Amino acid sequence: MAARLVRRCGAVGAAAYSSPLVSCRRWSGASTDTVYDVVVSGGGLVGAAMACALGYDIHFHDKKILLLEAGPKKVLEKLSETYSNRVSSISPGSATLLSSFGAWDHICNMRYRAFRRMQVWDACSEALIMFDKDNLDDMGYIVENDVIMHALTKQLEAVSDRVTVLYRSKAIRYTWPCPFPMADSSPWVHITLGDGSTFQTKLLIGADGHNSGVRQAAGIQNVSWNYDQSAVVATLHLSEATENNVAWQRFLPSGPIALLPLSDTLSSLVWSTSHEHAAQLVSMDEEKFVDAVNSAFWSDADHTDFIDTAGAMLQYAVGLLKPTKVSARQLPPSVARVDAKSRVLFPLGLGHAAEYVRPRVALIGDAAHRVHPLAGQGVNMGFGDISSLAHHLSTAAFNGKDLGSMSHLTGYETERQRHNTALLAATDLLKRLYSTSAAPLVLRRWGQRNDFANSSQFLFFFFFLRQSLAVTAEAGVQWHNFCSLCLPGSSDSPASASQVAGITGIRHHTRLIF
């Protein structure tokens, strides 16, 4: 551990001389900069929630927190009748976090939609899994991002004595403490904004997205690749009013398509497909688009006689060996029309920071990890980061410790990398497994459906990870390098496929669910 900390401290020093955003500063002894205990760079959902979590923490009542947001303040005077096309699937764990500082109450008083079941099925076979709660508890909540942001803004305003928020403010330079303290060196991180104003902080938290300036300035390596896919999102009107408490996801050969409930008559679409097809979906007229969506959910055009026959035989054989109750496939509601101007697309990719922390620096949310939307876990992973980091910082504050010390920051990193690395790996390999209509892989994923029938959503992903580490040579090479860089406590040599399987399936099994 000591050697690891020395390497990291040295790495910060090396970054200070290699990036135009950073330097190592000598202390003049006469600085009038305002010193904050914590500065959060990035005021999106995750950054604002991080500031709220600290602002409402009892052990931070005497601390000063600064939140920097490059954009303007977003004010939601009243809810529009038109739903936003930017929504998030909020897990019960994330709802608990938002409740801990009062934001969830605002959301409940505005609008959200709970879902109690989830159906996931394959377009190329009869493979199906249904998730539900026997006690009718909510599995999750679909909430517009604007509604979440409004709730967070309201809660930040209520603790303005502890949390300062600067809008239209972006850091253009970070100055790090010297790696080996000297009498005339600054002990804190110095931040220079575009307007020339400067601040100091004991801990800088990067919540500034997957192109994080904080991560780059700290010299933290990021493993990433782009998928040959874009996601198309839109707000859809259903043909008729329904109870609409089911989240639907179907795996097509070109990528997954999901229908998420918004109201009795509205749902949100997330369709991951090729860049070319995504562009066509966004540009085609409304009638053709609606037909394409309905066909994607209802059509069996991707079935083949060979797969159907082989699947039936496999089902019979599995039934003899292991009789199970299999859920009958239900059909999603049909779509009647799409909200005007709600169709947009964005490119998809994966990313993961080799380290989440350095001395006086911590990364959270997309600054630390970027995931494919098929698992619906992007913002929940960020909120999980907040829960962990806030807990470790609260403990440090209670004990009078230095907030920027690696002694507790590494505890946060270990917790979250164990969780996030495994989920990223499972999601990536699941995406690869299902982005094909090749018969052997179709039969493989079909053949596992009875094993999924009584498992949770996350075990569904991790089962596939263990079964399909060798789906493609490319995936193997990428994860070979990925794990050597990103797994906490790993050796300097790249991890083998068997090590990946062991780590994600055994060492991390207690950290699967946030």
Q: What is the predicted pLDDT for the residue at 125?
A: 64
Higher pLDDT, 111 or 129: 111
Q: What is the predicted pLDDT for the residue at 463?
A: 36
- Check whether 296 has a pLDDT greater than 70: yes
CB distance 239 to 362 below 8 Å: no
**Taking Cα atoms as reference points, which of 191, 203, 198, 195 lies closest to residue 169?**
195
Given pLDDT bands bounded at 50, 70 and 90, which one contains residue 322?
very low
- Check whether 69 has a pLDDT greater than 90: yes
Given pLDDT bands bounded at 50, 70 and 90, which one contains residue 374?
low
**Taking Cα atoms as reference points, which of 513, 178, 213 lies closest to residue 363?**
213
Which H, E and C letters describe 434-452, residue by residue? Answer: HCCCCHHHHHHHHHCHHHH
Lowest-pLDDT choice from 124-128, 357-361, 400-404 = 124-128
- Check whether 78 has a pLDDT greater than 60: yes
1-15, 88-102, 246-260, range with greatest mean pLDDT: 88-102
**Taking Cα atoms as reference points, which of 440, 459, 298, 482 lies closest to residue 375?**
459
- Check whether 387 has a pLDDT greater than 60: yes
Higher pLDDT, 435 or 124: 124
Q: What is the predicted pLDDT for the residue at 146?
A: 96
- Check whether 32 has a pLDDT greater than 80: no
Q: Looking at residues 256-272, what average pLDDT do you find? A: 95
Lowest-pLDDT choice from 83-92, 207-216, 235-244, 480-489 = 480-489
Which pair of tokens denotes residue 172? 């253009």
Report the percentage of the chain scoring pLDDT > 70.
Answer: 67
Supply the DSSP string of 19-37, one letter for each residue. -TTEEEPBP-S---PEEEE
Which pair of tokens denotes residue 295? 């066909």
Dihedral angle over CA of 38, 43, 47, 50, nearest 10: 60
CB distance 180 to 359 below 8 Å: no
Contacts of 237 (CB under 8 A, 6+ apart): 265, 266, 335, 336, 337, 338, 339
- Check whether 5 has a pLDDT greater than 70: no
- Check whether 183 has a pLDDT greater than 70: no
Euclidean distance between CA atoms 373 and 199, whole angstroms: 36
Given pLDDT bands bounded at 50, 70 and 90, which one contains residue 468?
very low
Q: What is the predicted pLDDT for the residue at 124?
A: 66
Report the percentage of the chain scoring pLDDT > 90.
Answer: 54
67-71, 370-374, 422-426, range with greatest mean pLDDT: 67-71
User: Where are the domains positioned within the chain?
Assistant: 1-71+168-221+354-404, 424-514
Average pLDDT, the chain: 78
pTM, two decimal places: 0.79
* Architecture, CATH, for domain 1-71+168-221+354-404: 3-Layer(bba) Sandwich (3.50)
Higher pLDDT, 273 or 489: 273
Q: Cα 401 vs. chain centroid, distance in angstroms?
A: 30
- Check whether 477 has a pLDDT greater than 70: no
Helices (H), ranges, 74-228 = 92-100, 103-109, 145-158, 213-217
Q: What is the predicted pLDDT for the residue at 75?
A: 84
Higher pLDDT, 37 or 309: 37
Higher pLDDT, 425 or 407: 407
341-350, 423-432, 446-455, range with greatest mean pLDDT: 341-350
Given pLDDT bands bounded at 50, 70 and 90, which one contains residue 135?
low
Given pLDDT bands bounded at 50, 70 and 90, which one contains residue 227?
confident
**Phi, psi (degrees; rounded to nearest 5) at 467:** -85, -15
Q: Looking at residues 404-420, what average pLDDT do you find? A: 94
- Check whether 409 has a pLDDT greater than 60: yes
- 36-54: pLDDT as tens digits: 999 999 999 999 999 999 9
DSSP letter, residue 509: G
Lowest-pLDDT choice from 71-80, 250-259, 323-332 = 323-332
- Check whether 184 has a pLDDT greater than 50: no
CB distance 39 to 197 below 8 Å: no
Higher pLDDT, 501 or 128: 128
Q: What is the predicted pLDDT for the residue at 328?
A: 58
Computed over its alpha carbons, how large is the radius of gyration of the chain?
A: 24
